[in-house]
Amino acid sequence: MTTSTGPRASTRSDRIGAIVLLVLALLYGLEASRIAYSFSSDPLGPRVFPLALAGLLALLSLIYLMRPSGAESWPRGRLLAASLAIPALVLAAALLLEPLGFAIAITVMVVGVGRIFGASWRAALIGGVAQAALWFVIFRYLLDVYLPGGSLLGL
């Protein structure tokens, strides 16, 4: 199921991760040094704590860079595409939520994610409509949560 990429490749991803964290520490530190303020009632001010955190993260990511562990394997090919399709479908639901309403947005997401997790079209479609209806009843009537009806549909 999981595709192992070998020890060398996974220490590489550790190293990339460590470098990204290091860059992040530097950017965060830079932004921290530019925090604008005119007065603070304490001797430390709003900059010092973030700057210390930046230094700490830089130090820790250097240690991480020097001692990579290389434990994880990354999904490849279809599995990677399927992994990324999950947040993409949630994104679609988020964007459709207000214009088309809860029912349609959620059905699209549930059907799509169901297909990714191996449901047949038939099962995914039935599951999608059923879950959208079930959750609608639970949220709207049992828990009294506001759900958008869909502005484009005039609901």
Judged by CB under 8 A, the chain residues 53 through 82 that form the site for another protein are 53-54, 56-57, 60-61, 63-64, 67, 69, 71-72, 74-75, 79, 82
Return d(Cα 109, Cα 9) in angstroms, integer: 34
Q: Which helix (H) or strand (E) holds 136?
A: helix 121-137
Cβ 154 to another protein shortest distance, Å? 19
Residue 154 binds another protein, judged by CB under 8 A: no
Return d(Cα 95, Cα 133) in angstroms, integer: 20
Nearer to another protein, 1 or 154 (CB): 1
Work out which of 93, 101, 103, 150 binds another protein, going by CB under 8 A.
93
Contact pattern for another protein over residues 1 through 20, marking x by CB under 8 A: xx----------xx--x---
Residue with the two structure tokens 């490749």:
9
Residue 120 contacts by C-beta under 8 Å, 6 or more apart in sequence? none
Cβ 122 to another protein shortest distance, Å? 12
Cβ 38 to another protein shortest distance, Å? 8
Residue 104 binds another protein, judged by CB under 8 A: no
Contact between 64 and 14 under an 8 Å Cβ cutoff? The reply is yes
CA–CA–CA angle 139, 141, 144 (5° rounding): 60
Residue 113 binds another protein, judged by CB under 8 A: yes
Residue 135 binds another protein, judged by CB under 8 A: yes
Please tell me what DSSP assigns to residue 80: H
Contact between 18 and 61 under an 8 Å Cβ cutoff? The reply is yes
Work out which of 19, 30, 90, 152 binds another protein, going by CB under 8 A.
90
